[in-house]
Structure 1
């Protein structure tokens, strides 16, 4: 709306001179926009566009977002710092308040979620070097280096956990060896290494993945498609990527982040039980996704029926519990 208003600044100025009712209506509030107001809007517009664009990118509900947030979030922190040093006092104060809120979630290196950092490492276009670059630029060389070491340790621990589960699944699927196979076991080099404690010099999937060149950023990368194609080379990492990249970075879909309509509770929902309201609020935005405004109204009778069934099942469970205990005592 601010973009559209700035495009029609001249029109508003002409309307102010020609339409007295327009001026009278605006004077009931804060009055007609002054030259200073227009200048302030122009100066703050790039700041607000930065937040809007970042929200659209990392709050999507139909694509992977856990590998995209780092560039947006850390760039926001740097821009906020730049605006905090602005000569305009009003912009500087606004940026200072935003910086305090930003630091609450992203300013403390000790509270950063390692799983979110691992998600960026699993992006073949970024990997570990990119994460290190962002951490060093944001927290300094010393703290950034400590975070990288912690990330590397967590990454290898998680990889070993998935590798153990993958090897267990493979062992379950192996058939019993035949007598001829048992006779060959004494000449098996892998068996010899395991019995003597010697390990192969082959690099792990994780090391091979990290040592390979990053994918080109000339065109958008389908990260899920990439892992699907390369799952034969990186079977363990593909399983990790499947689970970790499914994490949504934002708890609110971008379709609702700048809309008040999705937060209005109608007469039907205001009569629901707290448990049902909690379930609906937590899932509605993501279920509706991009077609948020095009959905038909919910079938409230069906929702009420489901709610009644849940309440009935809870009542039955509570009533059956004491009876079963009494029977056991007899």
Structure 2
């Protein structure tokens, strides 16, 4: 039997044990580690010095894990109280994410709501592992259990999801899980498609028409950024041609169209550099874009600039309120429609492909966006009346405007049903007046007299009064609708 001279631990000392385990213990002996911490120079003789113990550095993994879970429980309780006290509806966004190194799927659920101070909040309320298969039933069970856990199933306004095929049947299954009265208009507006994802699908369909030209640019970017030596040669050529651009070449992610736009936009700035390198490197010639490719990609970027700006707006995390979506989507549709009449065949083909995809999703997303823009005091119904004749044509636009108006009043009626009506308030006032024996108000029945004289039906709703007001002038400054 052997023993460590430093910590005293007993170790195997037989000849058959060898010495490998002794060397391994030297590396992990706690006493030796402490001595090295006090005197990190291995060549110097050990010495005893003052050692300041940092409790944060000395914490064990399990202790840190325990602290994190305690913090999580405290923050979850705070969030739960906020959601419980919140009187407004809660919009839910959810998405699936797959960890590549584990091949395991996770669902993220985020709650968006406006508090009593009209401040917009977003809270991640769930990040859970979702067992296979990731079908509609499994996703519904995971989402519904999350809503029940937070006790917010009767406050949900909408559920926004991407356009994955499993999400379409998930929404009807979710409605079956809860009482239909929990949702706005019995769930008529529950399903919302993600506008950013729809825009991504629309543009990707359009880009497929000229995929060859884009592939040439992509191959060029990949070639010159593939090794440090090639990129150094690219930078040297950039300096020799006195190209002032400082942006680095960026390879796109083919599932996100806006990264493709950025790749093309940057590559176009280095057009002369790529052309010069074609003369200097014979191996690059087969990857190099032709002059026609550069011309097509330049025209493409010009047409897609507005799409990129709208995508950036939709992906914003702080101010992307629903009233911003409608005018931007209308601009997108009108831009596609205009591109369909241009002379360039490839732009017309691209626009036709994009319009087909746009029409597929337009009916699914524009309902609540219309209501949101009506409630924007800068637009109201005027913006709808401005865009709809172009979007729907002169024969159809009035019918579509009437649908929006009807939807607004359906929402108002449902909202009003949760609060006392004017007549009910009058009856409550009569009851209070009759039961009051100590105070006499000579005008106690005046409100009832006014209602009888004018009729309840002649009293305008807050929505009607709001719509009759003049529009607030638009300015270049940011308009926070929650502070209106």
Q: TM-score range by the shorter chain?
A: 0.5 to 0.7
Cα deviations across residues 124-175 of structure 1 (Å, max 9, x unaligned)?
111111112211221023311111122212212322332332337x96x999
Please report how far the alpha carbon of residue 47 of structure 1 lies from its aligned counterpart in structure 2 after TM superposition: 2.0
Compare the two structures and name the one with the higher strand fraction.
2
Task: Determine the structure 1 residue equivalent to 2:483.
Answer: 225
Residue 292 of structure 2: SS of its match in structure 1?
A: helix
Matched, 1:98 2:354: yes
For 2:324, the equivalent position in structure 1 comes to 68
Alpha-carbon distance change, 203 to 52 in structure 1, aligned in 2, over 3 angstroms: same
Q: Give TM-score scaled by structure 2 length.
A: 0.40
Kindly indicate whether the alpha-carbon contact (under 8 Å) linking 2:378 and 2:474 is maintained by their aligned counterparts in 1: yes
Question: 1 CA distance for matches of 2:303 and 2:367?
Answer: 29
Deviation string 1:164-187 (CA, Å, 9 cap, x unpaired) is: 32337x96x999555248865995
Structure 2: gaps spanning 5 or more residues: 1-262
Conserved in 2, the CA contact under 8 Å of 1:84 and 1:95? yes
Cα drift, residue 201 of structure 1: 4.9
- 2:403 pairs with 1:146: no
When the two structures are superposed, what TM-score results if normalisation uses the length of structure 1? 0.58
- Total equivalences in the alignment: 216
Which of the two has greater helix per residue? 1
Alignment of 1:16 with 2:269, yes or no, is no
1:270-302 residue CA offsets vs partner (Å, 9 max, x unmatched)? xxxxxxxxxxxxxxxxxxxxxxxxxxxxxxxxx
Shift, 1:122, TM fit:
0.7
- Kindly indicate whether residue 89 of structure 2 is the aligned counterpart of residue 89 of structure 1: no
Aligned equivalents of 2:272, 2:379: Cα separation in 1: 46
Q: What is the rounded CA distance, in whole Å, between the counterparts of 1:13 and 1:92 in structure 2?
A: 28
Distance 1:49 1:16 in 2: 28
Measured at CA, do residues 74 and 160 of structure 1 come closer, stay the same or move farther in structure 2, by a change above 3 Å?
Answer: same
Paired position in structure 1 for 2:335: 79
Contact 1:118 1:151 in 2 (8 A): yes
**CA 113–40 in structure 1, closer or farther in 2 if over 3 Å, else same:** closer
Deviation at 1:36, TM superposition (A): 0.6
Q: How is 1:101-180 mapped onto 2 (pairs within 5 angstroms)?
A: 101-106=357-362, 113-167=366-420, 178-180=435-437
Q: Is 1:192 matched up with 2:192?
A: no
Counterparts of 1:113 and 1:34 in 2: how far apart (Å)? 41
1:61 shift after superposition: 2.7
- Structure 1 unaligned runs (5+)? 227-330
Q: Is 1:214 aligned with 2:214?
A: no
Aligned to 1:319: none
**1:89 & 1:189 partners in 2: Cα distance?**
73
2:266 matches 1:4: yes
Q: Which has the higher contact order (CA 8 A, sep 6+)?
A: 1
What residue in structure 2 maps to residue 254 of structure 1?
none
Shifted more, 181-190 versus 207-216: the winner is: 181-190
Decide whether the 8 Å contact of 1:185 with 1:191 is kept in 2: no
Aligned to 1:38: 294
CA displacement 1:94-142 (0-9 Å, x = unmatched): 1111111011122x6xx66532211110111111111122112210233
Distance in 2, Cα, partners of 1:189 & 1:200 = 18
Q: Distance in 1 between matches of 2:403 and 2:442?
A: 41
Report the alpha carbon displacement of residue 38 of structure 1 after superposing the two structures with TM. 0.6
Contact 2:313 2:320 in 1 (8 A): no
Which runs of structure 1 show a deviation greater than 6 angstroms over 4 or more consecutive aligned residues? Answer: none
Tell me if structure 2 keeps the 8 A contact 1:58–1:65.
no
